[in-house]
Structure formats: C-alpha cells, structure tokens
Amino acid sequence: MPSWFDRFRAIAIAAPARLARAPLAGVEGSTEGTHSGACPRLALVLRSAVERTQPVALLGTAACDIRTAPQAVIEEIADDGVVVRMLADIGPPPRLIVGESMRLVVLAPDGPEVGLVEVLAPCEPPLGRPNGRCYRLSMPSAIEGFHRRGDARVTVPRHMHAHVELFACGVPGSSEGACAIEGGPVATGRLLDLSESGLRVEVAATRMIQAPEPIDLTVRFQEPISPLSAACEVMHALAGRRAGELVLGLRFQAVRGDVRGVMRELKARRARRRSFARAR
C-alpha cells in the first residue's frame, strides 16, 4: 500500500507572497456578513477534497521539504474555519503550533490551489469521524491557483531536443531582469511546454528545488532556433516519473519579447514534421 507521501508526492509548494489574488471570508455565500467575499472556486476545491478524503499538505510559510511536510484530510468546513485531521504513516500524527501561519495546499484538477491559513486550536474530531489529532484552521484569507490556465502553450515533444539547464540564483532578479548564476547547473533536462508567461520542464536535479525559488534558465534548441535564457521563479514542483526527476512550473520574472518568436518556430517545426509524416 503506498504511503501518504507517495499518494501526495505531486503536491506543489507555492509562495505565500503570491497569495493575494482573491480575498475571502467564507466558502458558501456571497452576500453581506460572515460570508462576504466568498470564492466559489475555493468552495469547490475544499468540498471536493472532503468528499474524496483527499490528503492536503500543510507547509510553513518558509521553504520546506515536501517529504517532511505535515499532511491531513479535511474533515469539516464551517463559516469560521476548516477542521483537519492529521495523518501519519508511522507513529503519532504530527502536532501543529497554535498561532502558526501555514499554507494549505490542495491538488485540484487544474493544478494546485494554495491558501494561507492560521492554526486556531486543537479540537475534537467531528461526530462520526475517525478518532485522531484534529485542528481548526482559519478560513484561507487568500487563494491562488498556481497554473497557467489561460495561456496558449506550445507542447515540445522529446524529438525536438529542447535541452534545459537550471542555475541557482545568487540574486533574485537584477536590474537587467537576470539572475546571478553561481556555479554549475542544479538541474538538467528537457522542455515540456512553453507559453508567453512561463514554461514547464522535466529535469534531473542535484538538490531539492522548491517554490518560490528564483532560478536562471537556459534552453538550447536545434538550429536555427536561438537559445532562450531567462530569470524565472519556481511556481510549483511535482515529482517526476523516475526517481530524482522533477516537473517544474516556471514563470518568467519579466516580460519576454523573444518568447513569441520561439513559439512560432516550434509550431512551424511541428507542422513540418507532421506534413513529412503524412507524405510518407
């Protein structure tokens, strides 16, 4: 039977500094009072997690390792907060610190949904629910989905040989919009898809890479497409298909005027390959 970490290994680690998109105070109504500012997307995501007993991650606001992050299931959604039951593979469930701010991460169909919450108090499990260590959390005061839903993307097949190198940043964005590269690459791999706002890459990493880490990217294409270098921010990190591999969602730190041209070249190359295959 897979461990809770194996079941939850694809959860993203997101940046609390980005959690300022949609203020909310409840999950059901959208009228005056305690339910004002409700977010329908949040309500849907939380209800779905409850119905499927889907594990969620609870991470501190500082960067941390997903492998050691406390995990829980949402037992109850109320006007004043969310009740979660802590999970553990071995030994007693982990304890949370009352008053601590944490990131509640739910893996939704379109990508991870992240809300900033506060640990309010330990509590008894809801009536009829399994026994265990439970906590009441505040309702997320902000929510953001870390994905590029509206972006037009170009998928980059393996045969196009778009080689990726990622470098650690000494400075998260200089005045020129580039990172200060320190040492050799921390990850190498291939480009999965590209849009005007960011990209996804599949890489073998020499260390843990997490959001919201700034990172410098170089992508080398087959000629005549010029290499693409950019300062990026890690938006989410998913476990890859093989041990040691990661699938990273990266967002450009600045608008890139050259990306649209690269996307056109990639589309044209794919079209030529399809035409050649049909002609055969």
Question: Is CATH 3.40.50.300 the right assignment for the domain spanning 154-279?
Answer: no
Query: In Å, how far from its chain's centre is CA 137?
Result: 21
Residue 110: the pLDDT is 53
Architecture of domain 10-145: Roll (2.30)
Residue 139: the pLDDT is 86
Residue 232: the pLDDT is 92
Q: Are 250 and 215 in contact (CB under 8 A)?
A: yes
Residue 137: the pLDDT is 94
Q: What is the pLDDT of residues 103-118, one digit of tens each?
A: 888 766 555 677 888 9
Q: What is the pLDDT of residues 187-241, one digit of tens each?
A: 999 999 999 889 999 999 988 887 778 899 999 999 889 999 999 988 878 777 7
| Positions of the chain with pLDDT under 70 | 1-41, 61-68, 107-112, 128-131, 141-151, 170-183
Cβ neighbors of 268 (< 8 A, separation 6 or more) are: none
Residue 111: the pLDDT is 57
Cα torsion at 211, 120, 50, 72 (round to 10°)?
Answer: 60
Residue 172: the pLDDT is 40
DSSP state of 105: E
- Position of tokens 């170089």? 218
Q: Domain ranges in the chain? A: 10-145, 154-279
Q: Is the pTM of this model over 0.85?
A: no
